[in-house]
Structure 1
Amino acid sequence: MLSDLLLLAAGIVALYAGAELLVAGAGRLALGIGLRAATVGVTVIAFATTAPELFVATIGALDVSTDIGLGAVIGSNIANIGLVLGVSALIKPLSVSETVMKRHVPFMVFAAILLVAFGANGTIGRLEGALFLLALGGFTAYLLYYVSADPAPVADTPAGGNGIEPRDVALVAGGLLALVLGSRWLVAGGSGLLLELGFSELFVGLTVLALGTSLPELAASVVGAIRGETGFAIGNVVGSNIYNVLAVLGIVALITPIRIAPSTLRFELPVLVVFTVVLVAMMGYGRRLSRLDGAALVASYVVFVFLLLP
């Protein structure tokens, strides 16, 4: 059990460090080639902070079971809304831009509905995985269209940030390496510890692994809120929730079909939809998330985790 705890702790630290390196390198690379900061938040940074879920879900599916990957994605998306945005809003009310509401939020809702629809029969197969990735391609093309139609002004790009810097490429490479190691340690330590204590693989994914893989989103969004870049904090979570479903589950389903337990269809998936709908309603009202909204989101997440306990 001690070795599992050490692996779990080392995995969380490595995932956090890897995501920080990847976020820093990928963000600077994107800004260097002329993308807007807001676009970077919902695309490059969101995809970078989704990397832990991708590695954990894939390695979990190959080494343990698909319950690990499915639980990590569902749990991470719920944690992103309830914990990440909740804590960020408690630090500083988050303003919601019209661009995020019109261009990005509908895709987040669409991804959640697509997950429920594809999983309704208890299995997400290779065909559904391919359709997830096809939808992801459509979302990416949609964003790139608006990037080319509305390029970033010179003021949006940092001084001296033009072009690709070797240092940024090294940060991305180092981040990816740390993510690979961290995900293997987190899956091994977390699953070994909780399975030894009698918890199910799905519970492991929904709690320990989901929280561990949500650390990058939490760090990025909290830092964004502290610095006053509240639009970045929201864009990061919205983008991450889209990529978690479409990219992570799409890739895992292509590798091996994902089995969904009846209990997941009755509880966890409906909870994800409810969290998503409530978040959209909060953001639509006054185009901001207040501290009261943040407190409600955090409290709801605590209740969700409590209800998961056997």
Structure 2
Amino acid sequence: MVDGTLLSTLLLVLGAGALFGGAELLVKGAGNLALGLGLRAATVGVTVIAFATTAPELFVAILGALDVSSDVGFGTVVGSNIANIALVLGISALIRPLSISDAMMRRHVPFMVLAAVLLPVLALDGRIGKLEGGILLAVLAGFTGYLLHTVNSSPAAAEMAEGSQDEITVRDVAFVLAGLVTLLVGSRWLISGGSSLLLAMGVSEFVVGMTVLALGTSLPELAASAVGAARGETEFTVGNVVGSNIYNIVAVLGLLAVAVPITVTDSMLRFELPLVVAFTLVLVGMMWRGRRLTRVDGAALVISYAVFVRFLFA
């Protein structure tokens, strides 16, 4: 038993580390490739990079659904969104108060709220299947098209495009391939280690996804946001989380539902899914008030996350 526990813990730690490293490689390689193909730097930031940072959730959710159950994959998406808001932004705001731009409030935050509200609405009949997945992917296409339009029509974006095109190199392709392979391996390690540890303790598969797997997949966002806050790049920190939460639902959950239909229990509809909406609305309220997240806001978010996790294991 001890040996099994140690092995599961080791796989959990190695998996989380591999997810972080794989995401870094994928972001770097994909961003350079996109610039080499002539995409504007601002466009790359809101599309290629935003989607690449969601790759850990995508790999863990789909592999977890296929290897264990759809509850694991669904729990990973739900838990990752809550962790991004309460833990990632909370810790970042404790490091440095985070400024919120008017453009962020107008362009991106409404889509984050829409995605959060769509989650329980689409699950009202107790199932998120191919139809609901298709609806989410349609929202993804609309969101991406909207971002491309707003970024490419911006005069500032046109100025940023000057000199942004680079040559495509073998190293960038290697980064993308290495990142994808590392994410695949890391996802399997994280799922194996985390699920073995918690399932042995009698924890449900949905809670496994919401906690240990969600935390593992949120590591890239946490690292990037914390470093951004420490450097004073607070708008990047907020944008990273807002974009990730949108893509988690409309892209990751959309693809997951198309691949593996998800059964939603009454308890999920009463507690976990409304919590995603509640955390999102609380965050929007904090952001709206003074266009910043203060250290007090950060402390409140981190404490709320601790209470949430404690309640899950009560």
TM range, smaller chain = over 0.9
Q: Is the 8 A contact 1:83 1:297 kept in 2?
A: yes
Name 2:121's counterpart in structure 1: 117
Name 2:81's counterpart in structure 1: 77
- The one-letter code matched in structure 1 to 2:285 is A
* Deviations 1:232-279 (CA, angstroms, capped at 9, x unpaired): 111110110011001111111111210112111111111111110011
CA distance in 1, matches of 2:162, 2:228: 17
- Kindly report which structure 2 residues correspond to 1:85-104, keeping only aligned pairs within 5 A, or say none: 85-104=89-108
* Deviations 1:8-27 (CA, angstroms, capped at 9, x unpaired): 11111110110111222233
- Kindly report which structure 2 residues correspond to 1:269-308, keeping only aligned pairs within 5 A, or say none: 269-308=273-312
Name 1:241's counterpart in structure 2: 245
* Deviations 1:215-241 (CA, angstroms, capped at 9, x unpaired): 011011111111211111111101100
Name 1:185's counterpart in structure 2: 189
**RMSD of aligned Cα (Å):** 1.9
Name 1:145's counterpart in structure 2: 149
Name 2:198's counterpart in structure 1: 194
CA distance in 2, matches of 1:66, 1:23: 27
Deviation at 1:2, TM superposition (A): 2.3
TM-score (norm 1): 0.94
* Deviations 1:40-81 (CA, angstroms, capped at 9, x unpaired): 444333211111110011011111111101110110000000
Deviation at 1:177, TM superposition (A): 1.0
CA distance in 2, matches of 1:295, 1:223: 18
Q: Is the 8 A contact 1:42 1:238 kept in 2?
A: no
Q: Is the 8 A contact 2:137 2:250 kept in 1?
A: yes
Name 1:170's counterpart in structure 2: 174
CA spacing shift, 1:278–1:158, aligned 2, 3 Å: farther
Gaps of 5+ in 1: none
Gaps of 5+ in 2: none
CA distance in 1, matches of 2:149, 2:162: 23
CA distance in 2, matches of 1:291, 1:158: 38
Name 2:255's counterpart in structure 1: 251
Structure 2 counterpart SS, 1:184: helix
| Aligned residue pairs, count | 309
Deviation at 1:284, TM superposition (A): 1.1
* Deviations 1:132-169 (CA, angstroms, capped at 9, x unpaired): 10110010111111122126557646977634343223
Percent of aligned positions that are identical: 63
